[in-house]
Structure 1
């Protein structure tokens, strides 16, 4: 991964896909797997140009001292826009998962003119239950990592992933392998990285009604991809998002939790492609049929 210099930092990034791709996708997070979503958006049939940006404070990006006064999500959102400036990218599609989606919500509010579209994956702003500085799960993961409490880390990740049916035997084995790798990744982060608490988007909203009022200010084509079994971002928060953001769209996956980017990337990519085709006016309309499968005549 090369480094991109912005005004006061260097951001570690990677790029995928052709330079003449039909869409430019930016995504920012603590780290990326290198495969799955969003990297596979660069592969056919989408074939987009994709930049994955490691957030300030992690990996080879500029390390952080004190938390930024404006908050981590705001700082990272401004870094994404600065990255686009440095790369000569005027407008782009931003996508992110979980905290990465939180970054996108701030771009949508602070710099909507830079976004062609925003795709939030398991990342609508959290429900408000009196605590708005961070989720309970994130606080517990920070505590457990600093204490070397592997069991608690795994328990929190298990909760995020969502429950499985007893007959999902193969999926259970795949989930266990994923969790083992996720715990190992968490443990390899140094203490400076481990202490970073990104918080919730829009902590100034103390109630769900106040949060909805902020979401109603978003004027960017927005797609929300949500897991009904998500242990941190509730289906209700995604429903609030699609009810508040004008002309937005939401797709709910009953069988999924918080790890959709790694567990079902191909299904997410299919939805992103359809959404962007709809925005571009290139989506193929489905033929209209009646219930008995005969063609419906127009009047």
Structure 2
């Protein structure tokens, strides 16, 4: 499978350099306030960072300064996540199609028409929709525990698949434990060998947002809508074969939610994919940034910067 273990050297310290400035901005897209973090030179190659569940652009707070000396880095929050609006679900469809449209609208408003993407968890189906709509705009992918193959949906997904199959109220309510503080802590700590490297601020931050009135139903709507991603997989895999986007996989191999089974099949459609399985869990950036940042920077410099813009 051309899978390599990662023992990369730590990122070069920037202690003696001027740290890049991150700006915290909002844009109005289709009447909604979308929050995003932005850093780096405006004329540099763009890297779009798309977050997972149950977090927000907060997950990229360490990665952005590590890239912003050379790249224009943008990390938005989806509606119902982070600092973006959380509209009433009776008036707004919480779907991955809608998230993709809003992220596309944000990029258009910012005048960005060429970008690499870092996709993780929910960020993968959002990013895949952008790629399928604008295949000529994507300069490459960094995939971190983001699924594009049926093989990647294992035991964690069984109760969610039951809800997909029957759409019943009882199956929906059976998923409520996935929104508790216990599960949020599990997502950050399961499969991690040294928990002292994981800041508890993560689950405090995420759970406070999950616990907002009405957010449970929003998240349950998204669990149900995730079923719409599976029919896109054949189209996505055909896109990989046709356009051959450069791809770096940096995947927490101990992840119970998106296990390493989902990392291997990319090789079938992208023979030149670069795969690094890291000894960690779901939120790999939290304890493996020192390994991931050098891999990401080297990949971007070699495979993305050199692509014509």
Fold shared by both chains (TM-score > 0.5): yes
Match of 2:256 among 207, 212, 231: 231
List aligned pairs for 1:184-195, cutoff 5 A.
184-189=204-209, 190-195=212-217
SS in structure 2 of the partner of residue 191 of structure 1: coil
Task: State the TM-score, normalizing by the size of structure 1.
Answer: 0.72
Residue number in structure 2 paired with 1:295:
none
Give the Å deviation of 1:82.
1.0
Q: Give the Å deviation of 1:270.
A: 2.0
Whether 2:185 is the aligned partner of 1:154: answer yes
Pick one of 84, 87, 111 that aligns with 2:134. Answer: 111
Length, aligned pairs only: 260
Shift, 1:156, TM fit: 4.8
Greater C-alpha radius of gyration: 1
Cα RMSD after superposing both structures: 3.5
Deviation at 1:280, TM superposition (A): 4.9
**Structure 1, gaps ≥5 residues long:** 165-170, 284-299
* Separation in structure 1 between the aligned mates of residue 250 and residue 181 of structure 2, nearest angstrom: 30
Quote the offset at 1:38 in angstroms: 4.1
What residue is the counterpart of 1:72 in the other structure?
95
Mapped to 1, the partners of 2:127 and 2:29 lie a distance apart of 19
The equivalent residue for 1:289 is none
SS of the counterpart of 1:83? helix
Matched, 1:98 2:129: no
> Is the helix fraction higher in 1 or 2?
2
Tell me which residue corresponds to 1:183.
203
Larger RCO, structure (CA 8 Å, separation 6 or more): 2
Aligned-partner SS, 2:99: helix
Residues 266 and 141 of structure 1: CA distance in aligned 2, closer, same or farther (over 3 Å): farther
Q: Which residue of 2 aligns with 1:221?
A: 246
TM-score calculated relative to the size of structure 2: 0.70
Aligned-partner SS, 1:25: strand
Mapped contact 1:109–1:217 kept (Cα < 8 A): yes
Match status 1:144 vs 2:170: no
Instruction: Name which of 53, 71, 78 aligns with 1:55.
Output: 78
Query: What is the rounded CA distance, in whole Å, between the counterparts of 1:32 and 1:61 in structure 2?
Result: 10
What is the alpha-carbon distance in structure 1 between the residues aligned to residue 285 and residue 36 of structure 2? 18
SS of corresponding position for 1:57: coil
SS state at 1:205 partner:
helix
Render the CA deviation track for 1:227-249: whole Å, top value 9, x for unaligned: 211121121111112323x3551
The structural deviation recorded for 1:83 is 0.8
- Equivalent residue of 1:239, what SS? coil
Q: 1:268 aligns with which of 292, 302, 307?
A: 292
